[in-house]
């Protein structure tokens, strides 16, 4: 029989001993016990390597379904020592040993995410992105994209969303979700809910790898939000709301959170129950359970309920203290990236909103003045309509002196009509100028994804064409009052 080299035997022995020494036990809330080696663990999920019929595989469990985790200590340090008479191992053997003795459990997802290059004093870089104000305005998908793009160039590994928002436009939340998916492999996302992650802002919670909550934090109520204005934002959000319900639930599921909870934040008919162990279901389970959302309400979940469900951890410190909570050393903030990106994007939207307000004001004023100045609004014109002067003397000859011509308009009436037409044309010019400005804003708003600032293209184009037609009609009839023989205005081309 061929004997294996002594060095190889040592490596095999070390492998067997270390696999036993690092065995972990995961107990689920339903009583299931899994024993193996935890290869990934964070606030969203636990990934454990198990051996079934001598075949290694990995199992992933949402964190909220995990009741407890037991990490067995190493049984003996002697196995880590090299025999005194052993010669120096080859580079390959040493690499194998290093791999064997590298701790497998990690509190972050750096195994999946990008890692910082090795150095004598490695730094773990992070940025803070404020999620404040209205989603779609102060916080928006374009600003998020800019921040994450810059952060990727700065070798940033962690992104902390500091959330306190009343919500906003659902369409922007859907776009935000696309951006977060795009950069999901590049960063570890952390949601720190300071006050409320309401409505559309809950997307940052559903897409986070770890959720941290202040004691009074709330998350939910993710129904469509819109302002009462002419932009058609209500219609935009109504269109996206059904998409939003499915997207946010699916994203939460992918991160290991109960999709039922996030779906109930959008869908009125959804129900959510939680048992004593924090297990979440969409229907009433057997035994004692609390209904945290009924079919007649939109769910807003409290911090304590999220902690009980295993979705979040309570956090009372400063963001700079998150590194210690994550067991990450040299937790260094790259300042300004998130704040500047959101601020600059918000400024652009504010500027567009101001242009809209000004152009709308001009249009409304000019439209009101046109309604007063239009020459057809007056009835003080002296126009001789074709009519029979003396019916008893009717001869049937329309060229007889018994008829007056409809073309007989006195000079004073024509001057009044002309002056009023010129004034009305000036009103229309201001309206057309305002509509042109609104069209320009529309194009810019579309480019930056600010859909709530856009007017309906069909409505804007129709209004613009109607103003042009009215102006052309007044110019064509400037020197003659276009009355018909029946005394009506003739609007024909």
- Three-class secondary structure assignment of the chain: CCCCCHHHHHHHHHHHHHHHHCCEEEEECCCCEEEEEEEEECCCEEEEEEEECCEEEEEEEEHHHEEEEEECCCCCCHHHCCCCCCCCCCHHHHHHHHHHHCCCCCCCCCCCCCCCCCCCCCCEEEEEEEEEEEECCCECHHHHHHHHHHHHHCCCCEEEEEEEEEEECHHHHHHHHHHHHHCCCCCEEEEEEEEEEEHHHHHHHHCCCEEEECCCCEEECCCCCCCCCCCCHHHHHHHHHHHHHHHHHHHHHHCCCCHHHHHHCCCCCCCEEEECCCCEECCCCCCCEEEEECCCCCCEEEHHHHHHCCCCEECCCCHHHHHHHCCCCCEEECCCHHHHHHHHHHHHHHHHHHHHHHHHHHHHHHHHHHHHHCHHHCCCCCEECCCECCHHHCCCCCCCCCECCCCEECHHHHHHHHHHHHHHHHHHHHHHHHHHHHHHHHHHHHHCCCHHHCCCHHHHHHHHHHHHHHHHHHHHCCCCCCECCCCCECCCC
Nearest C-alpha neighbor of 69 from the set 108, 89, 97, 43: 43
What confidence score (pLDDT) does residue 483 get? 77
What confidence score (pLDDT) does residue 487 get? 64
Q: At residue 213, does pLDDT exceed 80?
A: yes
Distance CA 193, CA 187 (A): 19
Mean pLDDT over 461-479 rounds to: 94
Beta partners for residue 301, in sequence order: 219
Of residues 284 and 384, the one with the higher pLDDT is: 284
| pLDDT tens readout for residues 131-190 | 999 999 999 999 999 999 999 999 999 999 999 999 888 889 989 999 999 999 999 999
What confidence score (pLDDT) does residue 437 get? 96
Of residues 453 and 109, the one with the higher pLDDT is: 453
Beta partners for residue 38, in sequence order: 48
The overall average pLDDT reported for the chain is 80
Distance CA 440, CA 420 (A): 31
What confidence score (pLDDT) does residue 325 get? 93
- Token representation of residue 471: 């102006």
Query: Contact 47/58 with Cβ under 8 angstroms?
Result: yes
Least confident residue range of 222-231, 233-242, 412-421? 222-231
Q: At residue 242, does pLDDT exceed 70?
A: yes
Distance CA 160, CA 148 (A): 11
Beta partners for residue 275, in sequence order: 289
- Token representation of residue 87: 């010669």
Of residues 325 and 5, the one with the higher pLDDT is: 325
Q: At residue 228, does pLDDT exceed 90?
A: no
Mean pLDDT over 229-239 rounds to: 56
Tokens 């129950």 correspond to what residue? 273
Of residues 337 and 33, the one with the higher pLDDT is: 337
What confidence score (pLDDT) does residue 98 get? 42
With cut-offs at 50, 70 and 90, classify the pLDDT of residue 387. very low
With pLDDT > 70 as the criterion, what percentage of the chain qualifies? 74
Distance CA 391, CA 83 (A): 136
- Token representation of residue 299: 């769910």
Distance CA 269, CA 167 (A): 21
Mean pLDDT over 232-257 rounds to: 78
Top mean pLDDT of 105-114, 388-397, 410-419 is at 410-419
- Token representation of residue 426: 């000036």
Query: Contact 11/36 with Cβ under 8 angstroms?
Result: no
Look at the chain and count its residues. 493
The architecture of the domain spanning 6-101 is: Roll (2.30)
Give residues with Cβ within 8 angstroms of 134, minimum separation 6: 165, 166, 167, 168, 169
Q: At residue 20, does pLDDT exceed 50?
A: no
Distance CA 205, CA 348 (A): 26
Within the chain, which residue ranges are assigned CATH 2.30.30.100?
Answer: 6-101
Could you give the count of Cα atoms lying within 13 Å of 259 in the half-sphere of its Cβ?
11
Least confident residue range of 65-69, 146-150, 206-210, 418-422? 65-69
Within the chain, which residue ranges are assigned CATH 3.90.226.10?
Answer: 124-335
What confidence score (pLDDT) does residue 111 get? 35
Q: At residue 223, does pLDDT exceed 70?
A: no
Of residues 402 and 131, the one with the higher pLDDT is: 131
With cut-offs at 50, 70 and 90, classify the pLDDT of residue 235. low
Distance CA 161, CA 294 (A): 30
With cut-offs at 50, 70 and 90, classify the pLDDT of residue 51. confident
With cut-offs at 50, 70 and 90, classify the pLDDT of residue 102. very low
CA dist list (Å): 298 to 158, 228, 264: 32, 22, 6
What confidence score (pLDDT) does residue 5 get? 58
Of residues 151 and 231, the one with the higher pLDDT is: 151
- Token representation of residue 289: 């359970």
What's the maximum distance between 2 C-alpha atoms anywhere in the chain? 144
Q: Is 110 exposed, middle or buried (0-12, 13-18, 19+ CB in 10 A)?
A: middle
Opening angle at CA 373, ends 369 and 375, nearest 5 = 150
Q: At residue 123, does pLDDT exceed 70?
A: yes
- Token representation of residue 46: 């636990």
What confidence score (pLDDT) does residue 108 get? 34
Any idea which fold 124-335 has?
2-enoyl-CoA Hydratase; Chain A, domain 1 (3.90.226)
**Neighbouring C-beta atoms of residue 124, cutoff 10 Å:** 19
Distance CA 317, CA 214 (A): 9
Least confident residue range of 13-27, 198-212, 393-407? 393-407
| pLDDT tens readout for residues 289-321 | 889 889 888 889 999 999 998 899 999 999 999
- Residue 167, by phi and psi: left (phi above 0), alpha (psi -120 to 50) or beta? left
């Amino acid at each position: 029989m061929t004997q294996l080299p002594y060095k190889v035997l040592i490596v095999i022995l070390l492998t067997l001993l270390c696999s036993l020494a690092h065995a972990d036990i995961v107990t689920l809330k339903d009583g299931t016990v899994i024993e193996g080696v935890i290869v990934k663990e964070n606030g969203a999920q636990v990934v454990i390597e198990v051996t079934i019929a001598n075949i290694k595989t990995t199992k992933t469990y949402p964190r909220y379904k995990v009741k407890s985790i037991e990490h067995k200590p190493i049984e003996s340090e002697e196995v880590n020592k090299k025999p005194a008479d052993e010669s120096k191992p080859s580079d390959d053997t040493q690499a194998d040993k290093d791999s064997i003795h590298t701790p497998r459990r990690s509190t972050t997802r750096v195994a999946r995410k990008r890692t910082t290059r090795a150095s004598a004093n490695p730094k773990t870089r992070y940025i803070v992105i404020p999620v404040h104000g209205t989603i779609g305005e102060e916080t928006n998908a374009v600003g998020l994209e800019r921040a994450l793009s810059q952060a990727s160039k700065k070798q940033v590994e962690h992104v902390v969303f500091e959330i306190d928002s009343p919500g906003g436009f659902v369409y922007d939340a859907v776009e935000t979700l696309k951006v977060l998916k795009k950069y999901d492999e590049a960063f570890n996302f952390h949601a720190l809910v300071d006050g409320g992650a309401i409505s559309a802002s809950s997307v940052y919670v559903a897409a986070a790898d770890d959720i941290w909550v202040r004691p009074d934090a709330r998350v939910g109520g993710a129904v469509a939000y819109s302002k009462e204005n002419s932009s058609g934002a209500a219609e935009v959000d109504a269109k996206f709301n059904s998409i939003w319900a499915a997207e946010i639930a699916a994203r939460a599921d992918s991160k290991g959170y109960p999709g039922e909870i996030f779906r109930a934040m959008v869908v009125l008919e959804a129900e959510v129950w939680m048992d004593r162990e924090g297990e979440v279901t969409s229907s009433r389970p057997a035994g004692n359970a609390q209904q945290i959302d009924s079919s007649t309400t939109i769910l807003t979940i409290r911090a304590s309920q999220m902690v009980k469900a295993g979705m979040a951890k309570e956090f009372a410190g400063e963001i700079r203290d998150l590194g210690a909570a994550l067991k990450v050393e040299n937790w260094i903030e790259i300042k300004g990236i998130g704040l500047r990106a959101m601020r600059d994007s918000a400024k652009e939207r504010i500027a567009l909103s101001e242009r809209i307000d000004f152009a709308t004001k001009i249009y409304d004023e000019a439209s009101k003045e046109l309604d007063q100045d239009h020459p057809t609004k007056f009835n003080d014109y002296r126009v001789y309509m074709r009519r029979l002067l003396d019916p008893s003397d009717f001869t049937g000859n329309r060229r007889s002196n018994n008829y007056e011509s409809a073309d007989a308009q006195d000079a004073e009436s024509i001057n009044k009509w002309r002056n009023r037409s010129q004034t009305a044309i000036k009103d229309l010019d201001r309206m057309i100028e305002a509509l042109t400005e609104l069209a320009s804003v529309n194009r810019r708003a579309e480019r930056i994804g600010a859909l709530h600032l856009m007017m309906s293209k069909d409505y804007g184009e129709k209004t613009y064409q109607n103003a042009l037609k009215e102006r052309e009609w007044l110019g064509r009839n400037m020197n003659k009052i276009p009355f018909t023989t029946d005394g009506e205005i003739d609007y024909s081309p």
